[in-house]
């Protein structure tokens, strides 16, 4: 079984400033530069033949390159239940279209539909029992985040492994736009 997701890699010049914001929440598991991405479609655990079918479907996606930018920060969960902090992605119709195309590819590969509403973001840290006041202070201190526009001319199919230090990702296949 492979644990997979389709995503856009955050380029180094956009990710480096995000790393500078990774402080101020005790116990946060901050994500390294190589783990920063915008998920297009979480796939989950699949058998290799299904992964091969998905690869063929993702490879058939046809879309022009586009630009995206990061703006604001936020959390998943509230109060004592907050479990992640993230950088948001500015509204982008081409990004939403690419995510929809990945969803359609997954369905053609006979995967179940995604039931969560798509909220494009870059996870900066995972939290476990973090102090809500620290998290709120971090959000307030970083909420004016705004990156330059960066070009999206490809996306990838990544595998994920859970480790004691958090998830590790490997690019399995890359798909060019254009």
pLDDT, tens only, 106-118: 999 999 999 999 9
Asked if residue 162 has pLDDT above 90, the reply is no
Sequence spans of domains, the chain: 2-176
* DSSP of 76-114: ES-GGG--EEEEEE---HHHHHHHHHHHHHHHHTTPPPP
Q: What is the mean pLDDT of the chain?
A: 96
Q: Which of 4, 6, 37, 127 is catalytic?
A: 37
Can you list the alpha helix ranges (DSSP code H) found in the chain? 12-19, 48-59, 93-108, 132-142
Please state, for a pLDDT cut of 90, what percent of the chain lies above it.
92
The larger pLDDT score, comparing residue 163 to residue 115, is at: 115
Asked if residue 58 has pLDDT above 90, the reply is yes
**Sheet strands side by side (includes 154-163):** 37-46, 2-9, 154-163, 166-176
Q: How confident is the model at residue 164 (pLDDT cuts 50, 70, 90)?
A: confident
Q: How confident is the model at residue 156 (pLDDT cuts 50, 70, 90)?
A: very high
* Homologous superfamily in CATH for domain 2-176: Cyclic phosphodiesterase (3.90.1140.10)
Angle between helices 93-108 and 48-59 (to 10 degrees): 140
Q: β-strands 121-126, 37-46: how paired?
A: unpaired
The larger pLDDT score, comparing residue 164 to residue 91, is at: 91
Of the CA atoms within 13 Å of residue 18, those in its CB half-sphere come to 31
Is residue 121 flagged as an active site residue? yes
CA distance 157 to 148: 25
Q: How confident is the model at residue 146 (pLDDT cuts 50, 70, 90)?
A: very high
Question: How high is the pLDDT of residue 135?
Answer: 97
Q: Note the pTM of the prediction, 2 decimals.
A: 0.95
Q: Which of 121, 130, 152, 156 is catalytic?
A: 121
Asked if residue 165 has pLDDT above 80, the reply is no
Q: β-strands 154-163, 150-152: how paired?
A: unpaired
pLDDT in tens, 66-96: 999 999 999 999 888 999 999 999 999 999 9
Q: How confident is the model at residue 166 (pLDDT cuts 50, 70, 90)?
A: confident
CA distance 80 to 38: 26
């Amino acid at each position: 079984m492979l644990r997979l997701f389709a995503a856009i890699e955050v380029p180094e010049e956009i990710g480096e400033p995000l790393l500078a914001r990774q402080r101020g929440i005790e116990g946060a598991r901050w994500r390294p530069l190589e783990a920063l991405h915008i998920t297009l479609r979480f796939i989950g655990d699949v058998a290799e033949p299904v992964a091969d079918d998905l690869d063929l479907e993702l490879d058939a996606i046809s879309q022009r390159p586009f630009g995206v930018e990061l703006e604001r920060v936020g959390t998943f969960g509230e109060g004592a239940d907050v479990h992640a902090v993230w950088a948001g992605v500015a509204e982008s119709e081409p990004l939403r279209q690419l995510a929809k195309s990945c969803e359609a590819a997954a369905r053609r590969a006979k995967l179940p539909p995604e039931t969560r509403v798509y909220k494009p973001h870059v996870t900066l840290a995972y939290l476990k029992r973090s102090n809500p006041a620290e998290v709120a202070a971090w959000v307030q201190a970083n909420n004016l985040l705004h990156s330059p526009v960066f070009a999206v001319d490809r996306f990838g199919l990544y595998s994920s492994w859970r480790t004691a230090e958090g998830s590790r990702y490997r690019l399995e296949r890359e798909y060019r736009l254009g």
